[in-house]
């Protein structure tokens, strides 16, 4: 109930007034049943703008830091995140990543929309970075369709380091659902997982028209912090460079 109060009474009207979101492809989101919304990640407000343009509730994973803050501000943030359906996740990897995957599968099995950012973290410079294969595992193990999502303008509204976003018009573009049933039973094949992830990232790239960098965003951030170049590979293809092409489904892998 808190989610709908926030969306329609408290935060939603303010967000609509501040960002005047325009949309394309909203009809691509299924009216019912579990589905994965896989999008680029440019700003914190991505997770707030996307839900207000959809009729259905979207559940996201959120870093556990949002739920462990101290003092009044920390409790308010934690309460808000829980109220809008954000699920805390430990991003340290290993067992924590597996727990996050199981949580996503549970959300999808309950027939809900699950929002995920395959890059794993915010883009450090507005470009689209290599996707992590967790989104592919979710798709193959759940059988749910993947709807690619492109957030447009959120990086300009809330660049890294800016807490309060600047009011400006923001766009949300949703592509046609991707069906990966042809890979059913191959969710443990790392070559298939990479192929599926790259296909999802390419779909996001076509919608967002960002430049693509075949490096993980977390790696890019570490390089930037050390004063090193993010990527020295020449770019090619539409809007920069493109993810590796998915293998032919008929070609054996592994």
Q: Report pLDDT digits (tens) over 128-143.
A: 999 999 999 999 999 9
The pTM score is: 0.84
Give the burial string for 133-154 (b: 16+ CB within 10 Å, else e).
bbbbbbbbbbebbbbbbbbbbb
**Token digits of residue 199:** 């296909």
Give the burial string for 180-208 (b: 16+ CB within 10 Å, else e).
beebeebbeeeebbbbbbbbbbbbbbbbb
User: Quick one: pLDDT at residue 239?
Assistant: 41
User: Quick one: pLDDT at residue 7?
Assistant: 67
pLDDT reading at 238 higher than 80: no
What mean pLDDT is reported for the chain?
85
Judge contact between 116 and 47, C-beta under 8 A. no
- Number of other residues whose CB lies within 10 A of the CB of residue 122: 22
Give the C-alpha separation, 51 to 60, whole Å.
10
Indicate the class that CATH gives domain 20-61+93-225. Answer: alpha beta
Distances (CA, A) of 78 to 81, 107, 163: 5, 20, 17
> pLDDT category, 253, cuts 50, 70, 90?
very low
End-to-end CA distance of the chain: 47
């Amino acid at each position: 109930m808190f989610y709908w109060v926030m969306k329609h009474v408290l935060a939603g009207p303010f967000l609509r007034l501040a960002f005047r979101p325009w949309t394309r492809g909203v009809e691509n989101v299924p009216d019912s049943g579990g589905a994965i919304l896989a999008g680029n990640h440019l700003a914190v407000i991505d997770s707030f703008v996307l839900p207000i343009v959809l009729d259905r509730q979207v559940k996201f994973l959120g870093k556990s830091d949002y739920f462990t803050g101290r003092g009044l501000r920390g409790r308010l943030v934690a309460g808000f995140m829980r109220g809008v359906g954000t699920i805390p996740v430990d991003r340290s990897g290993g067992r924590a990543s597996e727990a996050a995957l199981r949580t996503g599968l549970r959300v999808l099995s309950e027939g809900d929309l699950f929002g995920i950012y395959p890059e794993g973290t915010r883009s450090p410079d507005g470009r689209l970075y290599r996707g992590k294969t967790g989104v592919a595992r979710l798709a193959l193990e759940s059988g749910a369709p993947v709807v690619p999502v492109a957030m447009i303008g959120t990086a300009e509204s809330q660049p890294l380091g800016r807490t309060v976003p600047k009011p400006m018009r923001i766009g949300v573009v949703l592509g046609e659902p991707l069906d990966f049933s042809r890979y059913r039973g191959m969710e443990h094949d790392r070559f298939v997982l990479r192929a599926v992830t790259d296909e999802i990232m390419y779909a996001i790239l076509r919608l967002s028209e960002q430049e693509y960098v075949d490096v993980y965003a977390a790696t890019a951030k570490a390089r930037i912090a050390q004063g090193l170049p993010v990527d020295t590979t020449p770019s090619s293809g539409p809007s920069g460079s493109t993810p590796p092409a998915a293998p032919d489904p008929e070609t054996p892998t592994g």
